[in-house]
Amino acid sequence: MKSEKWMSLLGLANRARKVVSGEELVIKEVRRGTAKLVVLAKDASKNTSKKVLDKCRYYDVPVVFSETRELLGQAIGKDARVVVAVVEAGFAKKLATLFDE
């Protein structure tokens, strides 16, 4: 996976205010049906991973994984982030394809 590509796209989505970060906020967006894609760091705690994955599975929101929380935070210009949600379909679709590469 080309981390630079998805990171710059996620950064762009963030600048367009189409990204929500933080476990509680992400889960709120998933429940609300506004989250189109969730990016979860592979080094998230078991507890957080389970909570986020269960919610996403239940509400049918696709999940992709970033290698580390540092990379995820760096992508959106913040400190380490364990989970972020993309709330715009266009960005979500493009990001999902980048993660599939």
Task: Sketch out the chain's domains with CATH numbers.
Answer: 3-100 (3.30.1330.30)
List of the chain residues with pLDDT < 50:
none
Amino acid 100: pLDDT: 80
Nearest residue to 69 (alpha-carbon basis) of 28, 41, 89, 91: 41
pLDDT for the residue 1: 52
Residues near 54 by Cβ (< 8 Å), separated by ≥ 6? none
pLDDT of 63 reads: 97
What H or E segment, with its residue span, contains residue 64? strand 63-66
Contact 82, 41 (CB under 8 A): yes
Position 37 scores a pLDDT of: 98
User: Using N-to-C axis directions, what is the helix angle for 23-32 and 46-58, rounded to 10°?
Assistant: 10
Percentage of residues of the chain with pLDDT beyond 70: 98
Please list the alpha-helical segments (H only) found in the chain. 3-15, 23-32, 46-58, 69-75, 89-100
